[in-house]
Chains A and B, each alone.
Chain A
Amino acid sequence: MTHLPFIAGAYAATIGVFLILSVSAALRLRAAERRLHAVETRRERVRA
């Protein structure tokens, strides 16, 4: 395959960018769900 380093670089950058974006989005969503759940539980406990 000609120009292999350039092709490999472009594909690696693409996979890397999309992986970073998707993993960080998924982790952020999980953290947000946990935090909201913790706040709601604490509020319900205080009200009870």
Chain B
Amino acid sequence: MSASPLAEPVSAQDHGSATNPGRIGSLLHRYANPGRFLRLSERLSPFLVWPAIVLSVAGMVWGLFLSPADWQQGDAVRIMYVHVPAAWLASLGYAALAVCGVLSLVWRHRLADLAAAEIGPVGASVTFLCLLSGSLWGRPMWGAWWVWDARLTSVLVLFFLYLGHVALIRAFDDPSRGARAAAILAVAGAVDLPIIKFSVQWWNTLHQPDSITLTGAPTMSFSMLWPLLVCTLGFSFAFAAIVNTRLRAAILETRTRQLLLQGARE
């Protein structure tokens, strides 16, 4: 389907308030127009879908069959190749949700509310996946499906924040009020992200410390690091592709509702 009927004129609202938003602000407001964003999103779609499929399959096959077993954990370490990318995406997804919240609250960005509504359920799903795969890894390694450890508990809190966001955005008759309340929750809940990150340093936890840091060399073998990075990249592309597809659908649904309302008024 051609996107041309969706191209909407750029209104004054799309350019924000009277204050000069600067270069980044201008770029953000440029893509606040749903028609313009939809055209970009359609062009972007194959560049997200194909790397997602190729990298995710390659990373999982590499991790499952070609990477070595750990000398302590044995083959259970292979769960790491799905658990770590899920954990990374759970935090990244919530950071994206918080950014959407700021864009919505400060600039009343039209697409930020739509994007937040689509990121929420996907983020909740990957956080659930992180908890589930962690539990499946913890049972043979720690002898328990769950422990009230700082890292696990803070990720569980993140999962509840996602669920709260999904519920809150749909809790009001007026969608803009729901979006505003959810945006406040998203921004306030972002305080959980540094707690998750530093929980293994601040408290004595059963969960192992980070093996990959920005400042130091990785503490794992490169034969394990490479498949982990490929999986993380593949899952990140998959996350972006799914959110992109859901966002395109949400824009089209909004446009359909607008047309039906216009038709009813005429």
Q: Do A and B bind each other?
A: yes
Which residues of A pack against B, CB within 8 Å?
1-4, 6-7, 9-11, 13-14, 17-18, 20-22, 25-26, 28-29, 31-33, 35-37, 39-40, 42-43, 46
Identify the closest chain A residue to B231 (Cβ): A14
Identify the closest chain B residue to A1 (Cβ): B75
What is the count of residue pairs linking A and B with beta-carbon distances less than 8 angstroms?
101
Identify the closest chain A residue to B63 (Cβ): A11
B82 touching A28, Cβ below 8 Å: no
B256 touching A32, Cβ below 8 Å: yes
Q: What is the bound-complex CA distance between A14 and B232, given in angstroms?
A: 13
Q: Is B216 an interface residue when CB atoms closer than 8 A count as contact?
A: no
Which residues of B pack against A, CB within 8 Å?
1, 5, 56, 60, 64, 69, 74-76, 78-79, 82-83, 86, 122, 125-126, 128-129, 132-133, 136-137, 139-140, 235, 238, 241-242, 245-246, 248-250, 252-253, 255-256, 259-260, 263
Find B242's partner among A3, A21, A37, A43 (CB 8 Å cutoff): A21
Find B245's partner among A4, A13, A26, A39 (CB 8 Å cutoff): A26
Q: How far is the CB of B81 from chain A (nearest CB, A)?
A: 9
List 12 A-B residue pairs with CB atoms under 8 Å apart, sorted by A's residue number. Answer: A3-B75, A9-B136, A10-B137, A13-B136, A14-B60, A17-B129, A20-B125, A29-B248, A35-B252, A35-B253, A40-B5, A42-B263
